[in-house]
Amino acid sequence: MELNAISIGFVVFSIFTLGGGFGVVTTRNLFQGTIWLMVSLFGVAGYFILLSAPFLAAVQILVYIGAIAILIIFAVMLTRSVARIKERYIRILPSFIASLALFLILLLGVTIPIFGAHSPESIPEYVASTRNLGTALVDENGFVVPFLLASVLLTAAMIGAIFIARDENA
């Protein structure tokens, strides 16, 4: 892995992604946890750019930093416990061992089969643009059914969430 813009970007975004992830699971303060989550997801958006999917990166920032962060912060403020939760963690050691084991299994199971394969030189030069995605989304041989199902899902989520969260007494 020689030193160039992409590898520098990869290292920087890895630090963002993993550091943010650690921040999320370790901070006691949920507001700071949200900010850490956004740092982590910003790193993921950076990966998308490195992987030539800038549209997904922009959408990632729009959806997570623009909307989900705000929503989580609103929820944190709404559910602030009067009695602070004393202990941060439960079952800390078993959880740690379990997730470490999972990480090792994933690492071994995922990297060994593809190690060396898919050399960087063989990846396609030409990548799909947003226009290709748009055409495929509404193509009857493409993704038109999932496209409409996504709309149904969002509608259901919005109606359901409003129904649950609405305060009838107010």
Contacting another protein within 105-124 (CB under 8 A): 106-107, 110-111, 114-115, 117-120, 122-124
The DSSP symbol for 91 reads S
Residues 40, 98, 105: CA angle, nearest 5 degrees: 80
Place of tokens 């055409």: 135
CB of 169 to another protein, least distance (A): 10
- Mention every residue, 6+ apart, whose C-beta is less than 8 A from residue 81: none
* Tokens (6 digits) for 51: 């992987």
Stretch 85-104 residues interacting with another protein (CB under 8 A)? 85, 87-92, 94-96, 98-100, 102-103
Q: Alpha-carbon distance 32 to 81, whole Å?
A: 16
CB of 152 to another protein, least distance (A): 6
CB of 22 to another protein, least distance (A): 6
CB of 52 to another protein, least distance (A): 6
Stretch 122-151 residues interacting with another protein (CB under 8 A)? 122-124, 126-140, 142-144, 146-148, 150-151
Stretch 25-44 residues interacting with another protein (CB under 8 A)? 25, 30-35, 37-38, 40-41, 44
Q: Are 55 and 85 in contact (CB under 8 A)?
A: no
CB of 168 to another protein, least distance (A): 10
Q: Are 65 and 46 in contact (CB under 8 A)?
A: no
Q: Alpha-carbon distance 37 to 53, whole Å?
A: 21
Q: Are 72 and 35 in contact (CB under 8 A)?
A: no
Place of tokens 């630090």: 15
Q: Is 60 in the site for another protein (CB under 8 A)?
A: yes
